[in-house]
Structure 1
Amino acid sequence: MLKPSIMALALLLACPLAHGQIFQRELGDFDLKLGTSPSRSMAQGLVKPASSGSVHGGLDLSHDSGWYFGQWSPSMGLSPASRLEMDSYLGFKQPLDRSLGYELGVIHYNYPQLRTQDSKEFYGGLTLLGSRFGAALSNDPDRRNSTLFADLGGNPPFGIGVSVKYTNYRLNNAVSVAKGGYVAGFNDWSIKFSRPWLGIDLNLIYSDSSLNGSNCSAYSGHNSQCDGLLTFKAERALY
């Protein structure tokens, strides 16, 4: 019998999917989604599958009871510059009523071509009156991460959504920096203001971390830059 990862790859290659397209089919009480773009995010938007290679894809299977299972490969490792990665997740998501819901789950990150320890991420999420909150704990091979997330987009003033993310990183081995110093841990955060306008998503993002100067050589967080950075983005979906 084929392993789930091989089955996902075989199905992807068999289906004539365009970039970013998702194939969906109901199988009794189950809902199957298969495609080359992630079909869900976890912890109410905090954990989002990423794509790091030119060939990527996966599947998502959910049940009417609230249980779901999925497998996503950010990179199939088909080129010399990429490595195969398989991310498997299992979770439970349930709305209690129209204004309240919750979600719990775990993701297992596997790198078959690398001699590195697999990692796990435990996550949880809550929706309350249209706002979303999430938390995640991960045990990467070289560090421990804990993240908090809030998206206050339920009743934004003036049609402006606000989301905030904060992460604490504890390194298993301190990193040596300039002048004989060491960095054993750090924090980073970001705040995003968003508003739709004429079919375009406008985003203003500020990000920063607890590191600065020469200590930034030890930074490996979520943000694209260690020091404070203000970014403006305008995005429009083509389909």
Structure 2
Amino acid sequence: MLKPSHLLLGTLLSCSVANAQIFQRELGDFDLKLGTTPSRSMAQGLVKPASTGSFHGGLDLSHDSGFYAGQWAPSMGLSPGANLEVDSYLGFKQPFDNTLGYEVGMIHYSYPKVDTLDSQEFFGGLTFLGSRFGAAFSNDPDKQNSTVFADLGGNQPFGIGISMKYTTHQLNTPASVDGGYIGSFTDWSVQLSRPFMGVDLNLIYSDSSLSGSDCSAYSGHNSQCDGLVTLKAERPFY
């Protein structure tokens, strides 16, 4: 039996530093990127995609050997109710050939203006024929999260990108709910994306294993415990 879903329509505006949302420059053996579009396939937001604020951006520095490092801020904390978040990452990416490659790394999540502990995440994945398959483990202050992820970018019917994510959350301390305690739960999401006349359109369905009064224990990746359908339209200023 399906849970009732809600429809949320949001338009997100991003402040761009250059055309195509990315400024790129070579510095010897290094490649520097600045922009409002994430430049890493598995680093920023692979399994912890904080809701992107109206103003966001970051930088990425990579070496010809495959090592890379960077920072990404999904929210600059300028909008009411939004907090500054800085995700610092370090990793290594190497293709075996033109069709197969791998990537491993770690991310450090910090919230400079909020009195909360930072968290870390380790990730790894394979790229095959343009599609990405990844897994990650993160150690948050209140729980541990294990995630599997798939982005079927190598096969886009009608130009529509498809990505899926499934996460298991294990609470350090069981949460009290009506009728007992909850020590773990799962959540998942499916996203369809397609560019249209310069606008990035995204249709997202998310849900979790909790419902009703049990949702008081929910603290997962989705913005809502129950089933939620979200339509996002994003376009850069320049």
Answer whether TM exceeds 0.5 for this pair. yes
Paired residues, number = 221
Mapping for residues 102-181 of structure 1, pairs under 5 Å: 102-111=102-111, 116-178=116-178, 180-181=179-180
Q: What RMSD in Å do the two structures reach over aligned CA positions?
A: 3.3
Are residues 1:20 and 2:22 paired? no
Deviation at 1:233, TM superposition (A): 4.2
The TM-score, its normalising length taken from structure 2, stands at: 0.76
- Is the CA contact 2:104–2:124 (under 8 Å) kept in the aligned structure 1? yes
Q: Deviations over 1:199-228 (max 9, x none)?
A: 554443322110011001111212222112
Relative to its length, the structure with more helix (as a share) is 1
The TM-score, its normalising length taken from structure 1, stands at: 0.75
Deviation at 1:188, TM superposition (A): 0.5
Cα 1:56/1:130, change in 2 over 3 Å: closer
Q: Deviations over 1:21-72 (max 9, x none)?
A: 1543321101123456644342597257757777765432110111001134
Q: Which moved more, 1:107-116 or 1:74-83?
A: 74-83
Cα 1:75/1:94, change in 2 over 3 Å: same
Match of 2:208 in 1: 209
Q: Deviations over 1:171-195 (max 9, x none)?
A: 11111112x4211110011122334
**Percent identity over the alignment?**
74
Q: Of the two, which has the highest radius of gyration? A: 1
- Is the CA contact 1:130–1:153 (under 8 Å) kept in the aligned structure 2? yes
CA distance in 1, matches of 2:95, 2:166: 25
Are residues 1:99 and 2:99 paired? yes
Are residues 1:192 and 2:191 paired? yes
- Is the CA contact 1:45–1:134 (under 8 Å) kept in the aligned structure 2? no
Higher relative contact order (CA 8 A, sep 6+): 2
- Is the CA contact 2:93–2:104 (under 8 Å) kept in the aligned structure 1? yes
- Is the CA contact 2:177–2:214 (under 8 Å) kept in the aligned structure 1? yes
Cα 1:45/1:58, change in 2 over 3 Å: closer
| AA at the equivalent of 1:183 | I
| AA at the equivalent of 2:91 | G
